[in-house]
A and B are shown apart, each in its own frame.
Chain A
Amino acid sequence: MLKKNELQQLLDEGLKTGADFAEIFLEDTQSEVIRVTSGEVTSIDRGNTFGAGVRLILGVDEVYGYTNHVSYDDILNVIENLRSSFNNKLHVSKPLGDPLPIRSSIKQPMDQVSMKEKTSKLQHLSRIMKSHDERIVQSITQLVQTEQKILVCNSEGVYQNDLRAHSRVILMAVAQENGQMQQAFEGPGRSMGFEVFDVLDFEKLAVEVATSAITLLSAEDMVSEVIPVVLHNGFGGVIFHEACGHPLEATAVAKGLSPFVGKLGEKIGSDLVTAYDDGYVEGTWGSASFDDEGKPTQRNLLIENGILKGYLIDYRNARKMKMDPTGSARRQSYKYSPTSRMNTTYIAPGKDKFEDIIKDTKYGLFAKKLGGGTVVPATGEFNFAVQEGYMIEDGKLTRPVRGAMLIGHGKDILFKIDRVADNLELGQGMCGSLSGSIPVDVGQPTIRVSSMTVGGAGGRK
């Protein structure tokens, strides 16, 4: 590994290009994916991401270079390759400071748990799903673990290391009956080591996944309608993530590609909506002590009682927007320049009770579990898939439905939220954007949207 004084010299070399900001990001990540299929350990893959990324900025212009060769000369070579980029007076880097302590801790690091212990836990969960019902024809469990060590330093004196551990268990069941196949899936994770098995009740979840796959066998195809939709807590928060979170990222705002540009202090949603993006909630999947520019993460208020309060801003976009960075700069790896991203984003709990929201809905869709979704920032149009849904008829949950797809506009939906329950939960996902794929939490209590377009294949005459 490079020494601090060598990094300081390299930063100065970076500034010799004429840049007014230089940054070096070093990464060494180990990852492991163990896969169990119907009770058998079928693959164990080991991965390593290793390299350095160099970022030079002048004003708001940026160049980035990266390589998996990380000696002093190799990094100097990356800088040399970027040298022709700027013509400006020379700057000198500030002395590198001391790193702040890392908040997160790993109780059971990946390589200190025996492979036997890991595989037997996964085999057990796989068998729970498989033996749940004879119509379950396939059950897959996976343990995905990563340990990312980073060091980021820049010409403004930041010198910060961090250690991020992520553990996620993926459970999937396939049910088959009369030639028809249905699948169900869950993938909870935490920012921690193998102790994730002490924190989460995977056995209960395995039963839920198997039950869900069986339920889908008898579900009817969703009929396309414009109706009230009750979005359940936890992963239901993906609606806010896609439709509102992404347009609040500086990547969209700084270019004017967001419906929320210039709307700070204005009403952008119903009074019931208060939302945060929190960079650090202990143990959560999307958490980090420091962002990928070495800045401590923080809790950012985005919306308060329907009023827009803030954006998510990285160093470079802070310059463009003339606002302060919010500790939100993230990247998948050294292969990406960092930019503004979400961590743990959620709608704050309200006062309603889940049962009352269902009871007070005469007719609508209860989206119990959502799949993924997409938003086009420039248009604000979004879509997301319902993985498990039920019709609400006369205030009661009735028939299961499948294949429902929800579509809408980000700027409309916030106003259409007319009920917010008190049962906040988080759900885990991987979020893909400019700086790669990163772990994030989405979250919300159960909410009701007064009307949404719901698509589906049902209702053919």
Chain B
Amino acid sequence: MYTQWIELGKQKGLSELEIFSVRNKSLSLTVYQGKLDSHVKSDVEHVTLRGIYDGKMSLVRFENLSTTHVETLIDRLIENAKALTVSEPAIIFEGSPSYPEVKEERYDFGQIPVTKKIDLLIALEKDILDHPSVSQVQSTSYQEIDTKTTLINSKGLHLTKQNTYAYAYAIGVFQKDDDIKTAYDIKLVKNFDDFNAKEMAETTIKQGLQKLGGKTIPTKAYPIVFSNERFADILNVFEPIFSGEAAYRNLTALKDKVGQQIFGDNINITDDPLHDKSHFKIPFDDEGVACYRREVVKQGVFNGFNHNLKTASIFKTEPTGSGFNGGISPTNFYLEPTDLTFDEMIKDIKEGVYITDLVGLHAGVKTVSGEFSLQASGLMIKDGKLDHAVKMIVVSGNFFDMMNHVKGIANDLKFELFAVGSPSVYVESLMIGGE
């Protein structure tokens, strides 16, 4: 089918073209009050076809795979390419000299009967619900995903990769008097046997109990410690500033800063497609470029942007295997941990705030200026130890400024599901808006 489409595109006048197909099979289950609440099964193949016409690249994405439809889309692609006025490099890649090997066994989640998966969720829900401070479990979810990716192009490149995993979590609602809090902990596995309902329930309960009884605090600047998960969230929303596309489009303050000190000299940020703690091991990007480990920021010095084929060509450098989903993003992007334990890191903080929750990351952040202002909650730090819960506060600051005032980085690196990771981070001071 794909080679036939490549032929068709060539006949219609495309100089080069590429098919990028993702076939996604998934099962998702949710349980509510001891019963199956939803059961969704899917099988969808989504194709992106990129083509070069008269030196210009355009693309079409589609799910209707009938040949007549693909034919009209290729005509459309040619029309669209003609309408582009910008002159930018248009590259279909012949392939990297070699590709990293992903050493991971593929596990067939389909071999486990659905009833066993439902039982896992029922057990997880019950274990959480049994705790006296839990008023209910909002939803308990399981999802398994099997993704097969195929890349074929007119330059003879033919690559495939497959990724299979499952994850589960339950959202517990914790209540003490008038105070209501929710907590959850997502567990991602590559083998069904790695799920442990008891452990997952314990983590969720621990998190929920920590949050209860929170109060707001007086408005002023405090030393701030972000949990590893929350600092990963922040790194994730600011990740576009490291994109070669943003540099080219004048949308990042890091433009013209390659080779310069941009952050404190204790900051090391790495992109590692095969990091052993990461959830996803990635041999090549969506343009067929091999991924490799790169130190994006080393001792506070910016080593270079993440590039796809186009921006690498514009900046006369090598592509970094960062061409994903039509844009640019890293593979497993993380702040390097240190040897410091969390307890050691906070031991000298007399009065500070430990932030375990951030809400509204899609709204309260300006990547261009670096400003952020986010609803938060967490715990007070008193005399070097975690103390009572804090809620309904706003933490505000500037990312660039903050990265120059990091006083401590812990050893607890953790990757989030969106493939950005961080250890817990102690920032000298940020404004807290409270009462």
Interface residues in chain A, defined as those with a beta carbon under 8 Å from any beta carbon in chain B: 28, 37-38, 40-51, 61-69, 78, 81-82, 84-85, 115-116, 119, 123, 137-138, 140, 174, 179-183, 221-222, 224-226, 255-257, 335, 337, 371-374, 376, 378-381, 383-385, 402-405, 407, 453-460
Contact = CB atoms under 8 A, between A and B. Distances in A.
Contacts of B58: 43-46
B89 interface: no
6 nearest A-B residue pairs (beta carbon): A455-B394, A224-B433, A455-B433, A372-B363, A383-B375, A457-B396
Contacts of B326: 45
Interface string B209-223: 000000010010100
Contacts of A182: 366, 368-369
Nearest to A61: B36
Interface residues on B, range: 35 or more
Nearest to B252: A181
21 contacts: A42-B86, A44-B80, A47-B61, A50-B64, A51-B63, A62-B39, A65-B40, A67-B43, A68-B44, A137-B250, A181-B253, A183-B366, A224-B394, A257-B173, A381-B375, A405-B373, A453-B434, A455-B431, A456-B396, A456-B433, A459-B431
Interface string B16-39: 000000000000000010011111
Nearest to A180: B369
A416 B124 CA distance: 40
Contacts of B42: 65-67, 335
Contact of A46 (B73, B85, B181, B393): B73
B197 interface: no
A405 B219 contact: no
A371 B363 contact: yes
A221 to B, nearest CB: 8
Contact of B359 (A47, A64, A67, A374): A374
A379 B65 CA distance: 45
B21 to A, nearest CB: 11
A380 B45 CA distance: 38
Contacts of B434: 224, 453
A380 B180 CA distance: 9
A385 B77 CA distance: 38
B41 A81 contact: yes
A458 B433 CA distance: 10
Output the residue of A47, A255, A383, A384 with the most chain B CB within 10 A. A383
Contacts of A257: 136, 138, 173
B398 A457 contact: yes
A181 B368 contact: yes
Contact of B39 (A44, A64, A68, A407): A64
B432 interface: yes
Contacts of B435: 226, 453
Output the residue of B42, B85, B432 with the most chain A CB within 10 A. B42
A56 to B, nearest CB: 9
A119 B63 contact: no
B83 A119 contact: yes
B51 to A, nearest CB: 11
B392 A453 contact: yes
Contacts of A378: 138, 171, 173, 180, 182
A48 B73 contact: yes
Contacts of A374: 359-360, 362-363, 375
B368 A373 contact: no
A47 B82 CA distance: 18
Contact of A337 (B40, B43, B45, B84): B40
Nearest to B365: A385
B62 A40 contact: no
